[in-house]
Amino acid sequence: LPTGPTARSQARVNLYLIGDSFSEPERIGPRDFPANYFLRTKWENQNRVQLDTTTRNVLIIETVERHFRDHFSQPVTSLVVVPDTTQKPDPPTLTPGQRLRAIADLIQPSAVVEERLETLLFGHPWALWWKEQKAGFNLAVFDRANPKVGLSRDREHVFVGLDTDTTTGKTSSFTPLPDVELDQYIDSLNAVYDRYRASGFDAVYLSIIPNKVTLIAPDLGSYNHLIERIQQHPRLRMPVIDVYSIYRKTSQPIYAIGDSHWNCTGRAIWLQAINERLATDN
C-alpha cells in the first residue's frame, strides 16, 4: 500500500474521518493513508475545521454495524466546516431539559465508565487469569456465560452482547429492520452527504464495518441484512466503500478471538479498500 512519508508527499488529498473505536489512534494513524493531511474525529466529539480549497478534501464516515442505527437516527455534527477556525463560536444555549440531562449524565455513571473502572481495577494479568478460569469453569460445568457476551453455537467464538442481544436496543445484527425505518436512514445519509458536499468536501464516503457475529455466526438469529440493504439501496446517494463483501470472501480470520474488533488481517483489508478508493478517486 502507498503509505509513509513518500506517499503523503506525493498525495494531493486532505483526508478527514469520522469514526468509532475501529479507527482510534491506537489502530489507525496518518501513516496508513496516502494523504497530505489526516484528521480523525470521534463520533461523540466535535471538531471545527477550515478546508483548504487548493487541494482535494475527502471525508470518510466510518461506523461499526452495531452503532449505525444510533449514529444516523440523528444529525451528524461531529465535523463542522467553518470559514475561519480562529473565530471562536458562542457557547451553546442549553434548554432546561438539556441542562437536566447533562446533570443526570454527570451523576449517573455510564456502563462505559463502569467497564473502564473494572478494567483499571481488575485488568492485571493475575485477575484476568482468574476471570478466564472462572468463565471456563462456568461454561464447561453449567453451560453458562457472562450475560454481557454471546457465544457461537460451537462455543468457539465470543461476541459482545450488543451484537447478539435483541432485547437491549437496536445494536444487534438480529434486531428487525423494517423498510420504513430503513428509508429513514437513507434519508438521513443523503442529508449528511448533501450537507458535507455543500460545505466544501469534494468526496464523502460511507464505510460500515460488520459486526463480528454478522460474519462468523449469522445463524444465531435472523440477520436483518442491514449492511446490504443500506449499501445497495437505490436511493442512496452517498458512495460506499464496501468491506462487507470482501470480508465474506476472505478465508482468513479477520476478527480477534477474544475481542469484537478486527485483527491485523481485517484492518489491512479495510485500509486497502480505503486507499484504493482514494487512489482511483484522486
SS3 239: coil
Q: Where are the domains of the chain?
A: 5-86+175-281
pLDDT of residue 159: 83
End-to-end CA distance of the chain: 15
- The residue ranking higher by pLDDT, 93 or 68, is 68
Helix, strand, or coil here: 40? strand
Instruction: Report the distance separating Cα 103 and Cα 105, nearest Å.
Output: 5
> Which of the two residues, 135 and 222, has the higher pLDDT score?
222
Work out the burial of residue 77: count CB atoms within 10 Å of its CB; fewer than 13 is exposed, 13-18 middle, 19 or more buried. Answer: exposed
Q: Pick from 190, 193, 185: which is nearest to 59 by CA?
A: 193
- Write out pLDDT tens, residues 96-124: 655 665 565 555 555 555 555 655 555 55
Q: H helices then E strands: how many in the chain? A: 11, 8
Considering the entire predicted model, what is its pTM?
Answer: 0.80
The rounded percent of the chain whose pLDDT value lies above 90 is: 61
Q: What is the DSSP letter of 55?
A: S
Q: Which fold has domain 5-86+175-281?
A: Rossmann fold (3.40.50)
130-177 pLDDT, tens digit per residue, is 455 555 544 444 455 555 565 655 656 678 788 898 988 899 999 999
- Decide if 4 contacts 26 (C-beta within 8 A): no
